[in-house]
Structure 1
Amino acid sequence: MSCNQSLDGSFPPSPAEDRSPQRLSWSNLLQRLVELKGINQTVAADQYCRSECGSVADLSLSDSDSSFFCYPLEETLAADVVTTIAQSLNNASHILCCSKLILSDCLIRKISKKLLHLAVNEPCGLRGALIDLCVDKGDPDSLSAVDQIAVDPTLVPTFHVTLVLRLESSGLWPKVQKFFKSGKPLSAMSPRHHNTLKLSNSFRAIKKKLYCSDELLIEECC
């Protein structure tokens, strides 16, 4: 029996007859491999999104997500706002009848944090704030208006914040101030230059939404 003859007596197809089916099967195999590769990439991307975002559904931005992505911009804006507030306070010596007004870095950080907190749910964020800056000197009817700051003058304000800052009335500073006052007779100093004031790290923030007249929020920051 010939080696090319099968057990049942039939002969295998000639190379010319078998070549086309082999080419077809190889093309199908390559196409299948490409499809499998695409499926694996899709699965890997899906797993990456799940690990990074929690779930595929999280790829759509919710309110909290959008606020998260905007938060660094809000922090930068808040830094600019508190710089303006510090400048306004430093220029308010004639309003507060003092030679110098001292404010700590701690107070600046607290104001920035409070403004960010008050702006979280606002439609324009901190850009929509109109800020009234006041100083309470501790005496009855001694609330002094220092400045009004529109964070973005090109926008119609969406909420109004009144910051009521307080003078330091306890602790070491009043004692130091009294000591230096006792070193010179008051007649040797002008009425305006014998007083250096320091702001307390505690203040009050009053928020009013300008598009909702019934809502008023008062928060103490200690």
Structure 2
Amino acid sequence: MSCSTPESAVLKRPSWGKMVQKLMDFNHADDTKPSVSSEKRDSGYFSEILTEDPFEEALCAEIVDNLSEILAEASARAVGWSRLIVPDQLVEHIGQELLHLAAEEPCGLKGALIDLCVENGKNFQSIGQLSVDPYTVPTFHLTFLLRPDLGGLWPKVTRRLSNSLRLSTGFTAVKKKLYSSSEAYIEEL
């Protein structure tokens, strides 16, 4: 299950300024509410998984924004299509999974190295990589294996007419702890 990386793969890092601003916005939110800002509550992110750490939630929101940018800028031509269509639910599920998979890590989300790959036939093609914190040695590597939406007749018709690939809301998450010799953790969503 290797993920080949093309020369055009993007290495992105979250903006600390944006993350600090989100943390400050969180601190000004009503303290009597659960520990999630109204912006995140309204957007649907983290509706199932909440942490007690507002920094982790702000960092996760920033990571999700950066992953959305990577997906928006991804050259679908690398997987044989002219355009990649990303459903909002996919991005929300990835955000929830990020919080879930980082919960037991010593550095939390700051220790994550994240790869996004799209299924291309029997292989997966890398479309981007994100190093969460350039000043923290990564403690775990997450690979999100995204699948095309192949259900029903409509995706097949639109794929042929517009030469676009719509991603499914389901994906496979592979987690490898970099500080341990344990096996990779695979979760199918």
TM-score with structure 1 length normalisation?
0.58
The answer to whether residue 103 in structure 2 is matched with residue 120 in structure 1 is yes
Structure 1 161/140 Cα, relative in aligned 2: closer, same or farther at 3 Å? Answer: same
Residue in structure 2 matched with residue 40 of structure 1 by the alignment: none
Residue in structure 2 matched with residue 109 of structure 1 by the alignment: 92
Residue in structure 1 matched with residue 143 of structure 2 by the alignment: 162
Query: Following TM superposition, by how much is the alpha carbon of 1:99 offset from its aligned partner in structure 2, in angstroms?
Result: 2.3
Equivalence map 1:20-169=2 (5 Å)? 68-70=51-53, 72-93=54-75, 94-137=77-120, 139-141=121-123, 143-169=124-150
Which structure's residues are more often helix, by fraction? 1
CA distance in 2, matches of 1:123, 1:173: 45
Structure 2 unaligned segments of length 5 or more: list them: 1-49
Which structure's residues are more often strand, by fraction? 2
Structure 1 173/116 Cα, relative in aligned 2: closer, same or farther at 3 Å? Answer: farther
- Relative contact order, CA 8 A, sep 6+: which one is greater? 2
CA distance in 2, matches of 1:124, 1:211: 12
Q: Is the 8 A contact 2:150 2:156 kept in 1?
A: no
Residue in structure 2 matched with residue 13 of structure 1 by the alignment: none
CA distance in 2, matches of 1:218, 1:91: 27
CA distance in 2, matches of 1:147, 1:68: 27
Residue in structure 1 matched with residue 164 of structure 2 by the alignment: 196
CA RMSD of aligned residues (A): 1.9
Structure 1 172/79 Cα, relative in aligned 2: closer, same or farther at 3 Å? Answer: farther
Identical counterparts, % of pairs: 48
> Which deviations, in whole Å up to 9, do the C-alpha atoms of 1:135-182 show, x marking residues without a partner?
013x123x101111101111100101111000111135414415x62x
Provide the aligned length of Structure 1 versus Structure 2. Answer: 139
Q: Is the 8 A contact 1:166 1:203 kept in 2?
A: yes
Q: Does the residue aligned with 2:106 lie in a helix, a strand or coil?
A: coil
Which contiguous aligned blocks of 4+ residues in structure 1 show a shift greater than 4 angstroms?
Answer: none
Structure 1 unaligned segments of length 5 or more: list them: 1-66, 182-193
TM-score with structure 2 length normalisation?
0.68
Q: Is the 8 A contact 1:103 1:198 kept in 2?
A: yes
